[in-house]
A = this chain, B = another copy of it.
Amino acid sequence: MKLGFIGLGNMGAPMARNLLKAEHELIVFDVIQSNVDALVQAGEGRASAANTPAAILQAGVQAVVTMLPAAQHVKSVYLGGNVKDVVLIDSSTIDPMSAREVAKAAAEKGALMLDAPVSGGTGGAEAGTLTFMVGGDEGLFNRTKPLFQSMGKNIVYCGGSGNGQVAKVANNMLLGISMIGTAEAMALGVSLGMDAKVLAGIINTSSGRCWSSDTYNPYPGVLENVPASRGYIGGFGSDLMLKDLGLATEAAKLSRQPVPLGSLAQQIYQTFSLQGNGGLDFSAIIKLFTKS
């Protein structure tokens, strides 16, 4: 297939390379020229550059994948260009209301759109093992599934337009809460005299068990090969978690839904960020609860 790809950052670039590996032809755009150059080179003749997002839409592509920082960029690309008869796949993480607004406007212009945010991080993007949470028309989802399978492993249909984003923000809000909760519980237990590994072992076979405790434990030394055991470098940045918690509380406000723990989690990450820690992995939040 002839595809467009817009947004070649840490996530977008490896996703686009996986589409090339699946023998697709790509026309790409990014605001940073070196990102574009690297991708065109990686394409070995099957990737070319466009000067603007609009040029991609007019180049006869069957589908476009976008991986952009925020809702305004997605709106700018899709509402500004001629999207008629193009399948639009937005893998950015944005708020569900904006996703639905863009999808509706795109439909009025003759396009079909899926919101398809991912989880799995840059590691998953490179390995092609991302999870895609997809919202939109189910028939379209089924027809485009092979595209997703080139980039990911777990492709989940979430229901109508915007539901991919709903699943993403709901999951990540719970993740942020669980991570802080795990950090509080681990720091409390250790301060009261328990060994961190013993405590984690008990929690992981009890009702406090969660991904943040059994797979990504924030206490240093409990698990190998997690950010907590290498100075909180790499992983999923605290400021990215802060962004997702901001999307979740914004969606909750618009939906008139209380999310007290989600909201406090956002404030805790905001405090952590103000103290200069936004670039650390999000499990570093345990530093707020332990003496340095």
Chain A residues near B (Cβ < 8 Å): 96, 119, 131, 133, 154, 156, 158-160, 162-163, 166-167, 169-175, 177-178, 180-182, 184-189, 191-195, 198-199, 201-203, 205-213, 215-216, 246, 248-253, 255-268, 270-271, 273-274, 288-291
Contact = CB atoms under 8 A, between A and B. Distances in A.
A250 B195 CA distance: 20
Interface centre among A187, A191, A261, A263 (most CB of B within 10 A): A261
Contacts of A173: 181, 184-185, 188, 208
Contacts of A256: 191, 270, 273-274
6 contacts: A173-B181, A184-B261, A191-B257, A210-B211, A246-B253, A249-B249
Given A163-B192, A191-B256, 13 more contacts: A156-B205, A167-B189, A167-B203, A173-B185, A173-B208, A184-B260, A188-B251, A257-B270, A257-B289, A258-B289, A260-B260, A260-B264, A263-B267
B261 A174 contact: no
Nearest to A202: B167
A100 to B, nearest CB: 9
B185 A170 contact: yes
A250 B250 CA distance: 8
Given A131-B206, A133-B202, A193-B166, A181 B262 contact: yes
A246 B251 CA distance: 12
Contacts of A201: 156
